[in-house]
Amino acid sequence: MKISSSLRKLTFEFISILFAVLLALFLNQCKEDRKNRKLGRQSEKEIIKEIRDNFKDLKQIQEANQARLKSFREWKKRYKKDSKTDYKPLFGFDHALLHSNGWQNAVLYQAIPHMRKDFVKNASEIYSLQRFYMSYAENYFNSLGNELHADDSKRALRINVGIHQLSTITKTADLLLEAYKGILPKDLGKSKVPK
């Protein structure tokens, strides 16, 4: 009888302790999940704010680069008529410094698993395209110094290369602007995302 009574007490205490431990683990997990969801929402807001800022900067720069590309093409038409047409004023470039700190912070703080999957997919594609744009634009910008000190006998070739490079940059910027529009709220985030 004593063994049976002790066994019941021991079983009851074991079950009570096990229940308390499981309850504590469950509550801790709920708290952790809530914290992670908050981190995910906060990271999304930061990324949207950053994309909105990048959108505004790139749109402004894009207009200048499209005007420059038009000037390149007009020069090419004039060059066919008069090969002594000066080309040096054409070489210039407006380069948008696009940021990716919001995405990098989300990666660093491991917030990505707690963000919406479609948002992560779209944001990762945007930042990948943005890296390509920045790299290509930077290479073009660096090549401009060489163009100004190059031999004038190859000016038509340099202009054609410039037209091709600037055309690629403006097309990539157009794609990037469309991608930005796709992830931003319909009103470009003015009321839905705090500034």
Is residue 136, in this structure, part of any structural domain at all?
Answer: yes
Residue 169 lies in a domain: yes
**Mean of pLDDT over the chain:** 83
Dump pLDDT digits (tens) for 155-183.
667 777 778 888 999 999 999 999 999 99
Residue 50 domain flag: yes
- Is residue 150 assigned to a domain? yes
What is residue 9's predicted lDDT score, i.e. its pLDDT? 85
More confident residue, 2 or 105: 105
- Whether 54 is in a domain gets the answer yes
pLDDT score of 68 more than 80 = yes
Note whether residue 176 is domain-resident.
Answer: yes
- 134 is in which domain, residue-wise? 42-183
Residue 161's pLDDT is 79
Number of domains in the chain: 1
36 assigned to some structural domain = no
User: For residue 87, is pLDDT > 80?
Assistant: no
pLDDT at 90: 61
pLDDT in the model for residue 48: 95
pLDDT at 86: 66
**What DSSP letter does each residue of the chain carry, written as one string?**
-HHHHHHHHHHHHHHHHHHHHHHHHHHHHHHHHHHHHHHHHHHHHHHHHHHHHHHHHHHHHHHHHHHHHHHHHHHHHHHHH-TT---GGG----------HHHHHHHHTT-GGGS-HHHHHHHHHHHHHHHHHHHHHHHHHHHHHHHHTS-GGGHHHHHHHHHHHHHHHHHHHHHHHHHHHHHS-TTTTTTTS--
Task: Report, as an integer, the average pLDDT of 104-126.
Answer: 93
Quick check: is 191 in a domain?
no
Question: What's the pLDDT score for residue 191?
Answer: 40
Task: Name which residue leads in pLDDT, 94 or 189.
Answer: 94
Residue 65 pLDDT: 87
